[in-house]
Structure 1
Amino acid sequence: MLKNYSFLVIPALFLIVLTSCKKEGDPPVSAEEKNVWVTKPSFPGTGRKEAVSFVIGDKLYLGSGFGMENNAQQFLRDFWQYNASTTSWVRIADFPGGVVGQAISFSMNGKGYLGLGYRLDCPPAGGICDHVYYRDLWAYTPQTNSWEKVVTFDIGEFDSSLGGTAFVIGNKAYIQNRNNLWEFDPFTNTLTPKKNLPDILHYAVSFAIGDKGYIGTGFNGSSHKELYEYNPTTDQWTQKASLGGGARYGAVGFALNGLGYIGGGIEGEYTNQGTYKDFWQYNPSADSWKKVEDYSGEGKFEAIADVVNGKAYVGTGDNRSSSKVTFENDFWEYVLK
């Protein structure tokens, strides 16, 4: 099922008619709750979706993904550093592990990590493309501007390694793919299988608040809005309140000041998709959701989101709000008031 689905959602191969997804039933945002989206210098690389990001210090790193380059849609390997203090971009070493989309990423102990994902191998004369799935995890060291392969996932057979997510708690990272979960130890570069997620989810989002991890939304034959909480101490999952907005996949998520945020993404089946730009705030103490400010850019599918120095950043992605796919390179900061 996954191989068929992942082929269907590659926009390079299809023209899809899409609609806006701003819901009339969404609750209003009161004046005292309003924060601000502020536009920042655009990502200087080619516009793309399926990119990854991680944060080291006051720098955000963004790269890989799928976009338009040299008049052709293709996978990319360039990487860039965003300095939140100077609001400037600098190109860094390209990712050496091969062109990759829908990888997972996170940062720990002064290093950034990128792993899993896929690429397409297509016949020169046209026809059905083959998926090539990656099983490696790489680390980026900013002091040397270099990448190093640190471990290969060698647990069972991968039916797919695309569309996963990851979060960090303490000195361990937790990597999700389908319903599988692994704990990564950066000191020993080892992977340990943990309790499976209660559902098989592709294109979900994740964030960590305190000593708990959260994974929500996603796709498994249809769009989802469930949220699951992971406790690494007990190695148990607990289902929490579902997202207040519509079901979706390919959204973005982040945690800020003890609260979780999910926004963007698309809804619907393959032939009836639409793009969201709404954002929702999750309070883990109350296990409740509250609508916050809509994203100020275009609605986004498979964008990136990360937090630097208490401010969230959202950018790139696939704008599916019209009758064509547009790969974006805009970049926005979410400022709490």
Structure 2
Amino acid sequence: MKGIFVLFLLISLSLNAQTWTSVSSVPTAGRDDGVCFALNGFGYIVTGYLGTFNESNKLFQYDPTTNSWNEKAAFPGTARQYSSSFTLNNKAYLIGGYSESGQALKDVWEYDGFTNAWTQLHDFPGLARWHATALHIQNNGYFGMGTTADSTLADFWKYNVDLDSWTQLSDYPGGPNRSVLGFPILNEGIFGEGFDINPISYSPSWFSFNPTTETWSTVPPIPAGLRSYGTAISSDFNALVCGGMDENNVFHNDCYLLDYTKNWKAASPLPISGLKGAKGFALKGQFYLGTGLNDNMTRISDFYKMDLPTTTLQGTLLFPNPSKDYFNLISEPNAKVSVFSVGGQLIQTLKTTDAGFLEIRQLPIGLYICLIEGKNTSEIKKIAKL
């Protein structure tokens, strides 16, 4: 058993209490299809198309304590839009995109927020592409799908940031698609939306990816219907999906929350009538979203924050149960977890630390007992290994 980790879960008090408020606009012309990421308590935006690419490489950092943007080290690569990015180990990674000269790209860049420096890494070994999907799950990055000049793609890859190396995995089960949304929730990746170009067809499917088994399973589709160019932001245990364009080229402003149980709930719509190609990030459990192309075909630099009231979880959650591979464990931080056989034999005792999971692949099939002991609480959970 590799380890048990804990999430200190925050859950919204009321969906009706969600509100969007304006924050400071990005200090450049409006842009669409850039990238956003969060590092060390700050949000960032870079790349994208601003009517030209003249200011595309300017990097801006958002400080939520002062509600202000500060210019940082410019991205040194070719100006572009439709790039993909993820964060891991306090660094951001930017991959590929569509260059100002109309070329598909495959270069990989690392940004260190502490040193404010960019480093070019080895190129992605697959086909150059844009409008692909990238995210981190646990200790690896993942990247795939997207489009070349002639076709959309379904390939899916794992990136080891420590070794700067790539491994190709099984294809995305939704088939060739670009504009696929991808984001982590707990210990899985969630993917959905997007469209194929040969011929143009919008995907209704959503999937989860298990990094332990490297397998896919279906997720209930979002109630919004068929979309592309939407925006997804996640914060460990929930995610917000907003806007985008439907198959009739109509822009939308509706928003939906996906929680850790993979259930969708309607959230407050964006304070703009329609938006596509927007980007965003999560800071301290709050969602920030902005820029993009509005339904008047105008690029905006506006940014908004969703005020999401939160409260602490009462009790411990351990799911999915039964399970074949692992359990998510959400409980009091620094709890003591003891795993017993049904006969009372102690298998292992661990202290919980950070967000993660209880891996059970090496346990024999059967029933087990978990004793979770916090500072002021003690709970017993029965778990079943399939």
* 1:78-116 alpha-carbon deviations (Å, 9 max, x no partner): xxxxx9894111011111122111101100111100001
Please point out which of 22, 36, 41 is paired with 1:110.
41
Partner secondary structure for residue 253 of structure 2: coil
Among the aligned pairs, what percent are the same residue? 26
Match of 1:239 among 146, 168, 181: 168
CA distance in 1, matches of 2:202, 2:16: 31
Closer/same/farther in 2, CA of residues 207 and 327 from structure 1, 3 Å limit: same
Please name the residue that 1:164 is paired with: 83
Cα distance between partner residues in 1 of 2:154 and 2:146 = 7
Deviates more, 1:303-312 or 1:103-112: 303-312
* Cα distance, 1:307–1:84 mapped onto 2, change above 3 Å: farther
Change (3 A) 1:200 1:84: farther
Residue number in structure 1 paired with 2:68: 146
What is the alpha-carbon distance in structure 2 between the residues aligned to residue 184 and residue 86 of structure 1?
36
SS in 2 for 1:224: coil
Match of 1:101 among 32, 36, 40: 32
Q: Note if 1:267 corresponds to 2:200.
A: no
Structure 1 unaligned blocks of 5 or more: 1-57, 59-82, 122-130
Write the deviation string for residues 198-251 of structure 1: whole angstroms up to 9, x where unpaired: 221200111101220001110012111111111111110111111111210011
Checking the alignment, whether the CA contact within 8 Å between 1:105 and 1:165 is kept in structure 2 is no
User: Where do 4+ consecutive residues of structure 1 move more than 4 Å?
Assistant: none
Task: Measure, in 2, the Cα distance between the counterparts of 1:210 and 1:280.
Answer: 17
CA distance in 2: counterparts of 1:133 and 1:246, whole angstroms: 35
Q: Establish whether residue 248 from structure 1 lines up as the match of residue 172 from structure 2.
A: no
What residue is the counterpart of 2:314 in the other structure? none
Residue 253 of structure 2 is aligned to residue 326 of structure 1 = no
In the TM superposition, residue 176 of structure 1 has moved relative to its aligned partner by 1.1
The residue identity in structure 2 corresponding to 1:302 is Y
Q: Which runs of structure 2 are paired with 1:71-86 in the superposition (5 Å)? A: 86=17
Q: How large is the RMSD of aligned CA atoms in angstroms? A: 2.1
For residues 17-73 of structure 1, what are the alpha-carbon distances to aligned partners after superposition, in whole Å with 9 as ceiling and x for unaligned? xxxxxxxxxxxxxxxxxxxxxxxxxxxxxxxxxxxxxxxxx8xxxxxxxxxxxxxxx
Q: Match of 2:132?
A: 204
- AA aligned opposite 1:293: P
Once residues 120 and 171 of structure 1 are traced to their aligned partners in structure 2, the CA distance between those partners, rounded to angstroms, is 32
CA displacement at 1:133 relative to structure 2: 6.5
Of residues 151, 175, 184, the one that matches 2:94 is 175
Aligned partner of 1:146: which letter? S
> What is the match of residue 62 of structure 1?
none
Report the more deviating stretch, 185-194 or 302-311: 302-311
Corresponding residue for residue 90 of structure 1: 21
TM-score with structure 1 setting the length: 0.67
**3-state SS of the aligned residue for 1:174?**
strand
Give me the whole-angstrom Cα distance separating, in 1, the residues matched to 2:41 and 2:86: 15
SS in 2 for 1:223: coil
Structure 1 CA distance for aligned equivalents of residues 260 and 61 of structure 2: 31
Q: Is the 8 A contact 1:133 1:161 kept in 2?
A: no
**Alpha-carbon offset, residue 132 of structure 1:** 5.3
Change in CA separation of 1:85 and 1:254 when aligned onto 2, cut-off 3 Å: farther
Partner of 2:271: none
Q: Secondary structure at the match of 1:118?
A: coil
Does the aligned pair in 2 maintain the 1:225–1:242 contact within 8 Å? Answer: yes
Number of corresponding residues = 240
* Secondary structure of 1:120's aligned partner: coil
The residue aligned with 2:259 is 335
1:276 Cα deviation from its structure 2 partner: 1.7
Cα-to-partner distance string for 1:257-280 (whole Å, 9 max, x where unaligned): 2111111011124xx312223101
1:309 shift after superposition: 5.6
Say whether 1:184 aligns with 2:144.
Answer: no
**Residues 251 and 300 in structure 1, CA contact (< 8 A), matched pair in contact too:** no
Are the structure 2 counterparts of residues 196 and 85 from structure 1 closer, same or farther at C-alpha, using a change threshold of 3 Å?
farther
Change over 3 Å in CA distance of 1:133–1:149 after alignment to 2: closer
2:185, 2:236 within 8 Å by CA — same for their partners in 1? no
In structure 2, distance between residues paired with 1:149 and 1:336? 35
Aligned residue for 1:291, secondary structure, equals: strand
Contact 1:164 1:176 in 2 (8 A): yes
